[in-house]
Amino acid sequence: MNLLKETIETLELYDKSPKDVRWVGSNDGKYAISWEEFEKIAKDVEYYSGYGLQEIPDNLVVVGDDWWLERAEYDGSEWWEFMTMPEIKEGLPFKFVEDEDGFGWCLKDINQEGDEE
């Protein structure tokens, strides 16, 4: 797999192009370069995207105005995931509660009837 080709194909899947990219770098913003600089690097990066060892840094992001691509991985198989800022639908206040099956925590409306204080 060629990193530049994969990145451009993923952008196109979501009606984006390199012109829409603001910067490329680490997900904490410590490292950042322009799309043009990334292009020079990524065109020569060939990697195996199948199962095995992850080869592309997992903190690599491609960032636009209200979206970004981030690396996803399962058992060494890797790809780009397209992410967007979530929208607030109602903005209800919440609390953390244990889920009904007891297998973790979820958010629950603080005003929902039947809540124990």
pLDDT at res. 114:
52
From 90, 68, 91, 92, select the one nearest 80 (Cα to Cα).
Answer: 68
Residues in the chain: 117
Give residue-wise pLDDT tens across range 29-50.
Answer: 999 999 999 999 999 999 988 8
pLDDT at res. 117:
45
Angle, nearest 10°, between helix axes 35-42 and 3-13?
130
* Sequence ranges of the domains in the chain: 3-84
CA separation (Å) from 34 to 19, 31, 45?
A: 11, 11, 17
Alpha helix (H) residue ranges in 21-77: 35-42
Least confident of 3-12, 30-39, 86-95: 86-95
Q: What is the pTM of this model?
A: 0.78
